[in-house]
Structure 1
Amino acid sequence: MKSLVSIITPTFNSEPSISETIESVLQQTHKNWELILVDDGSTDLTVEKIQTFISQNPNIRLLRGVKNQGAAWARNKGIEVAKGAYVAFLDADDLWKPEKLEVQLAFMHREACEVCFSSYNLIDDSGTPLNRQIKALAILNYDKLLKSNYIGNSTGVYSVKALGKITAPNLRKRQDWLLWLRAIKASGKPAKGVQESLVYYRVRKNSLSSNKFKLIKYNYWVYRKGLRFSIIKSLRYMVGFFIEYFFIKPKQTFFIDET
């Protein structure tokens, strides 16, 4: 029997996109999955939209928080109840291509890797392709990941059987980066990237990546609070981050024709 994959999706006021996100899971060619949606205190119709899917799909579950506690809490709550041999993440505004899980699980088995991610395409708020693809690094070790987050969270999968349940620290921002650092460290081996694009990542106008000043602040807290580096060490890594983010990482972006 094919391995069970636990898909963790935090939601917070995700009404505009959540139905399409869930549909992309239902269309997976790998059918042995459970989708755990963790609502973080939505005040719109997110929960109602999710419940229409639950009534027809017993492998979809909804956990609800009383108040907004952040994406780290939501992800960790989902991981806590997950039953799968693998954990995968899908953010509430992103979309998976139908072959996503099948391709990655076959790749992980073939390459004997315990942490895997993939290339992904960019779309805008309305789902229109931006004709850009972010190419996954073939090999990603801990030291490289320390310089900048090279794993698109909705592309990531890790093996629970090999690593146990890896959770995120309780930071409001960039906690997914720290989760992948923990996973690679626990593995003791590099993560490996599928070169095929398997995900559509939605670029929002008010996203963290679009605000460079906020990005710098939250990255500093990754080093200072998340990894507990000294102030000097944190600042030294921030210099490395600037070099990586502005001069090296852009080389992963490819312009493509999606018309």
Structure 2
Amino acid sequence: MSEPLVSVVMAVHNNERYLEVALNSILEQSWQNLELILIDDASTDRSASILRDYACSDSRIRLLVNDQNHGLTWSLNRGLDEVQGELVARMDGDDIALPERLAKQVEAFRSNPKLVLCGTATINIDEKGKKHTLGEWPSNPKVLRWYSIFRPAVAHPSAMFRVRFGNQIMRYNENLRTAQDYDLWSRLLQHGDGLVLNIPLLLYRHHASRISCTLRIEQSESAANICQKNLYREFPDFFIRKNNMHAKSVANLIHNSMASLPQDATAALTTLLALESEYLTTIDQYDEESRRAIQRLTTRWVAQTLLGKSPLKMSERIRLLTQLRSRLGALSEESFHFGMRRLRARL
């Protein structure tokens, strides 16, 4: 078989309930020039035997077996070390890739030589496969750039990315058990463009055993640390010029990290809005669509934190929300978009 263009990397640990559907969704893609690298991370259920059976039945599959459970980050790096393709696509053992996913992403890379990372919209499903909401990321490059400073630029299992830049091979940070995708995307985007295809090409399964549920606090703290680094890298002049030391507070506010303290909240909100204003100076003043989308994102993040679980007292939350009164229109618009995402996912 000729060298594949796309290497799909899937690390598996005890995914027997969903694994065959996930595997079939990749092997039945309309784009067939691929290899599927499977890493069995010492599964103790039927996953190991399912992976062996599939590896014996399809020559495009390469199966790697860990001698012990090393976790997702280590396992993904083992897979990345083995890829032959120019492009790497991620996939999890409990999600479902829609048939045109890889073809649409390859087309995007062929259309833009500067593209280094491409994700897709998703349809969020539960354990039984019931559709709940449409997961959307900004498709506008200017909005995505703002978003990617604060959040992972694409959904991890929807990602396709370049892994080689000269002699450098991009790998996940093995010091991170969570938010490893956010860290990798942040470093990747220093090499080129990001893109999210605004059509859902992945059924993204949410259930109680996902890392986002089992390691929620650790994930929030790791994401806040990455966000803080991104802020210093993207706005170095701002933090020097303003003598502003509140990047950590901003990151904690966005990610609702338990490290966020009430006395930092006002400074964090003020700094976040100042950073937004700084970023908007890079956007054409006549590009009203981009400007409104950026403001809507910022408002959503603050509102989610202040209205959700937080160490802030209720009086402090109300006071901060009052500062956002000029953005009630943006908040109302975001609520409308959320309702539409729920409706579109179920059509």
TM bin, normalised by shorter chain, reads: 0.7 to 0.9
Aligned to 1:64: 65
In the aligned structure 1, how far is the partner of 2:230 from the partner of 2:45? 31
- Does 2:170 align with 1:166? yes
Counterpart residue number, 1:220: 224
Q: Which residue of 1 aligns with 2:123?
A: 121
User: For the Cα contact (< 8 Å) 2:164–2:170, is it kept in 1?
Assistant: no
CA contact (8 A) 1:86 1:159 kept: yes
Shift of 1:126: 1.8
Q: Closer, same or farther in 2 for the Cα pair 1:240/1:127, shift >3 Å?
A: closer
For structure 1, the residue ranges without an aligned partner over 5 or more in a row are none
* 1:29-108 to 2 correspondences below 5 Å: 29-108=30-109
- Bigger RCO of structures 1 and 2 (CA < 8 A, at least 6 apart): 1
Percent identity for Structure 1 against Structure 2: 22
State the 1:101 CA deviation: 0.5
Aligned residues: 255
Distance 2:219 2:163 in 1: 30
Q: Is the 8 A contact 2:118 2:195 kept in 1?
A: yes
Structure 1 residue ranges, 4+ long, deviating more than 6 angstroms after superposition: 224-229
Q: Which amino acid aligns with 2:154?
A: I
Show CA shifts across 1:60-93 (max 9, x none): 1111111111111011100001000100100111
Cα deviation 1:134-173 (Å, max 9, x = unaligned): 1231126555313112411111111246575321101111
Q: Which has the higher strand share?
A: 1
Tell me the distance in 2 between the aligned counterparts of 1:156 and 1:172: 18
Structure 2 unmatched ranges of 5 or more: 234-244, 257-297, 306-330
Give yes or no for contact 1:75–1:168 (8 Å, CA) kept in 2: yes
Structure 2 CA distance, aligned partners of 1:223 and 1:111? 27
CA distance in 2, matches of 1:258, 1:110: 31
1:10 deviates by 0.7
1:222 & 1:39 partners in 2: Cα distance? 28
Q: Is the 8 A contact 2:11 2:39 kept in 1?
A: yes
The answer on whether the counterparts of 2:119 and 2:160 sit within 8 Å (CA) in structure 1 is: yes
In 1, the alpha carbon distance for the partners of 2:40 and 2:131 equals: 27
Aligned to 1:178: 183
Q: Distance in 2 between matches of 1:67 and 1:210?
A: 23
Higher percent of residues as helix? 2
Structure 1: distance between partners of 2:164 and 2:220 = 35
The Cα RMSD (Å) is: 3.1
Per the normalisation by structure 1, the TM-score is 0.86
Query: What is the aligned counterpart of 1:236 among 250, 272, 296?
Result: 250
- 3-state SS of paired residue (2:189): helix
Residues 85/72 of structure 1: CA separation in 2 closer, same or farther (3 Å cut): same
Aligned mates of 2:185, 2:55 — CA distance in 1 = 29
Match of 2:152 among 149, 153, 158: 149
Moved more, 133-142 or 242-251: 242-251
Counterpart contact for 2:3–2:84, Cα < 8 Å: no
Report which stretch shifted further, 120-129 or 199-208: 199-208
Kept after mapping to 2: 8 A contact 1:169/1:226: no
Q: Which structure has the greater CA radius of gyration?
A: 2
Give the match's secondary structure for 1:14: coil
**2:39 and 2:83 mapped to 1: Cα distance?**
12
Conserved 8 A contact 1:148-1:245: no
SS of the aligned residue for 1:81 comes to coil
- Partner SS for 2:127: coil
- In the alignment, structure 1 residue 195 sits paired with structure 2 residue 198: yes
Q: Deviation string for 1:24-78 (max 9, x for gaps)?
A: 0111000000000111121111110011111110111111111111111011100
Give the deviation of 1:16 after TM superposition: 0.9
TM-score, scaled to structure 2: 0.65
One-letter code aligned to 2:157: S
